[in-house]
Amino acid sequence: MAEEPAIDPFILAIRCAQRDLIRRAGGIERVALITSRSTSAVGRWNGKRETDIMPIPVVRILEEDTDAPLVTAAMASVTGRRLSGSGERRERALSLIQCLAGDQASESDLTGTILEALSDGHVTPTEARLCLEKLSDKEISHDRLKRCLIDAIAGGGLDVLKGRAAR
């Protein structure tokens, strides 16, 4: 009897996850219907001995339909990563609010410092240095706000009122 070729652990994890995703989505026929793919194509994705991998748009449709990022989680875990949970999503929403508040506070602090320096009609080197320090603080808070917004984009958006990723 011929030996079966070794299967890449990454591919094995993806194939197992896609079979679970098909089951959660209602089986081969339903998956074919909602993804506009043939039942034979879906059957190949579902087969234990098959090597076909779902296209990413199909994975996205099914994970959205089932609210179960199984294939995405499998891809992340094989690379030593994990997906954030709903608690972390809530923290991201709060983080965005905190980043915005911090950015506004830095902006206000910078504006106040500049206006105070200008109030006597002369900006001294010490006042200019202080303004420059406040500007640096503002840039740091601005960068934090950018990172929060990038996280929101990467996470599919945020529903701040419910504290979870938006759809």
Query: In sequence order, what DSSP letters do the residues of 93-113 get, joined into one string?
Result: HHHHHHHHHHHHHHHHHHHHH
Beta strands in 28-163 (DSSP E): none
Q: Please give the Cα distance from 77 to 94 (Å, whole number).
A: 26
**Terminal-residue alpha carbon distance, the chain:** 51
Other C-beta atoms closer than 10 Å to the C-beta of 110 total: 20
In a domain, 102, yes or no: yes
Contact 53, 156 (CB under 8 A): no
pTM here is: 0.50
Residue with tokens 């202080």: 130
Residues 71 and 24 in one domain: yes
Residues 73 and 92 in one domain: no
Range of the domain at 17: 9-78
β partners of residue 167:
none
Number of domains in the chain: 2
In a domain, 16, yes or no: yes
Q: Give me the pLDDT at residue 21, please.
A: 93
Q: Give me the pLDDT at residue 85, please.
A: 60
Contact 76, 97 (CB under 8 A): no
Enclosing H/E stretch for 145: helix 125-154
Residues 74 and 90 in one domain: no
In a domain, 2, yes or no: no
In a domain, 3, yes or no: no
Handedness of CA 87, 92, 97, 99 (dihedral sign): positive
Q: Give me the pLDDT at residue 167, please.
A: 42
Q: Give me the pLDDT at residue 166, please.
A: 43
Q: Please give the Cα distance from 156 to 167 (Å, whole number).
A: 7
Q: Output the domain CATH number for residue 27.
A: 1.10.260
Domain termination residue (choose one: 61, 78, 95) = 78
Residues 127 and 70 in one domain: no
Residues 50 and 91 in one domain: no
Residues 60 and 117 in one domain: no
In a domain, 167, yes or no: no
Q: Give me the pLDDT at residue 163, please.
A: 43
Q: Give me the pLDDT at residue 84, please.
A: 66
Q: Which residues contact 71 (CB under 8 A, 6 or more apart)?
A: 14, 17, 18, 21, 54, 59, 62, 63
Mind listing the pLDDT tens digit of every residue in the chain (167 residues)?
555 566 777 888 889 899 999 999 999 999 999 999 999 999 999 988 888 899 999 999 999 888 888 898 888 887 777 776 655 555 666 677 888 888 899 999 999 999 999 999 999 999 999 999 999 888 888 888 887 787 777 777 776 665 444 44
